[in-house]
């Protein structure tokens, strides 16, 4: 079942788009099935859960943290995490840098932008993000790399709305690329698209889709 839906999703991804299999709240057996089918990138949104899975599952898995990360928990994931998708404040980026320095790692991070209409989603506004980059302090952080942007569209059936939101994030990505990262090859990821909207996200230029329920089924909380 999992292997089949995984293959189905993979078959829909154009070259240059990678799949983050979002396995939060699913047991190790579910991840193992996806692993046996060839999947190596898994996304989790809880620090304790991801750390437990990291300890018990194969070592060649790339762990992506996709949830809201609290500064006091950064230290638990920094030794092994591959990519942190949800950097939503400068303070958090600084803390990742500080903890990464302790374990001598350089960690790829995505800045999370608030593009949905809902109040509840985390992330910088475009203005806040521009101001943070203008301030320039991030350039002194030697143990993190800003590898791109992440965003979540509104949870709606209005496809036009979703397209508009992904389009705005994609334009912003190009603005930042030209302004701050033109000569930085690390700045290349645009993480957008979930089970119900990854086709729209890909059309808008996503390079990393985060798909959970379409592969693993509904989550039990
Ligand atoms: C849970 C989650 C996903 C996956 O959602 P599905 O609808 O199950 O595909 C993607 N991104 C983030 C940030 C999530 O928290």
Give 27-66 as a DSSP string.
-HHHHHHHHHTT--EEEES-HHHHHHHHHHS-TTPEEEE-
Secondary structure of residue 75 in the 3-state scheme: helix
Q: For residue 62, how far is its CA from the centre of ligand 1 (angstroms)?
A: 17
Residue 121 has pLDDT above 90, yes or no: no
110's enclosing H/E stretch is: strand 107-113
User: Is the C-beta atom of 144 inside 6 A of ligand 1?
Assistant: no
Mean pLDDT over all residues of the chain? 97
Residue 67: which of 91, 31, 89, 43 has the closest Cα? 43
Mean pLDDT of 190-211: 98
Residue 221 has pLDDT above 70, yes or no: no
Mean pLDDT of 158-162: 97
Q: Around Cβ 154, how many Cβ atoms within 10 Å?
A: 16
Banded model confidence at residue 122, pLDDT cuts 50, 70, 90: confident
Return the ligand 1 atom nearest residue 194 CA. 9
pLDDT at residue number 36: 98
Residue 218 has pLDDT above 90, yes or no: no
Return the ligand 1 atom nearest residue 150 CA. 13
Contact by Cβ (8 Å): 196, 1:
no
Look up the pTM and report it.
Answer: 0.97
pLDDT at residue number 219: 77
Name the percent of the chain lying above pLDDT 70.
99
User: Is the C-beta atom of 22 inside 6 A of ligand 1?
Assistant: yes
Q: For residue 87, how far is its CA from the centre of ligand 1 (angstroms)?
A: 16
Return the ligand 1 atom nearest residue 24 CA. 1
For ligand 1, pick from 114, 210, 219 the residue to mutate: most ligand atoms within 8 Å of CB.
Answer: 210
Mean pLDDT of 74-83: 98
Banded model confidence at residue 118, pLDDT cuts 50, 70, 90: confident
For 160-195, letters b (16+ CB in 10 Å) and e give eebbebbebbbebbeebbeebbeeeeebebbbbbbe
pLDDT at residue number 120: 72
Q: CA-CA distance, 108 to 11, in Å (whole number)?
A: 27
Banded model confidence at residue 119, pLDDT cuts 50, 70, 90: confident
Six token digits for residue 53: 């899975």
Distance from the Cα of residue 122 to its chain's centroid: 13
Contact by Cβ (8 Å): 215, 42:
no
Six token digits for residue 21: 């299999």
User: Is the C-beta atom of 212 inside 6 A of ligand 1?
Assistant: yes
Rg of the chain over all Cα atoms, to the nearest angstrom: 17
């Amino acid at each position: 079942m999992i292997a089949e839906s995984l293959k189905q999703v993979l078959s829909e991804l154009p070259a240059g788009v990678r799949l983050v299999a979002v396995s939060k709240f699913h047991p190790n057996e579910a991840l193992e099935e996806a692993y046996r089918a060839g999947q190596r990138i898994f996304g989790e949104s809880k620090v304790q859960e991801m750390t437990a899975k990291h300890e018990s599952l194969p070592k060649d898995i790339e762990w992506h943290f996709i949830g809201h990360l609290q500064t006091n928990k950064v230290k638990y994931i920094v030794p092994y995490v591959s990519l942190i998708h949800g950097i939503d404040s400068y303070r958090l980026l600084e803390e990742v840098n500080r903890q990464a320095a302790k374990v001598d790692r350089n960690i790829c991070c995505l800045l999370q932008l608030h593009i949905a209409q809902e109040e509840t989603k985390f992330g910088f506004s475009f203005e806040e993000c521009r101001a943070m980059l203008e301030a320039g302090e991030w350039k002194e952080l030697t143990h993190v790399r800003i590898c791109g942007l992440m965003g979540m569209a509104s949870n709606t059936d209005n496809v036009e709305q979703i397209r508009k939101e992904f389009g705005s994030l994609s334009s912003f990505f190009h603005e930042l690329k030209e302004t701050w990262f033109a000569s930085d090859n690390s700045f290349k990821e645009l993480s957008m698209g979930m089970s119900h909207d990854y086709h729209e996200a890909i059309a808008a230029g996503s390079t990393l889709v985060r798909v959970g329920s379409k592969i693993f089924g509904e989550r039990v909380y």
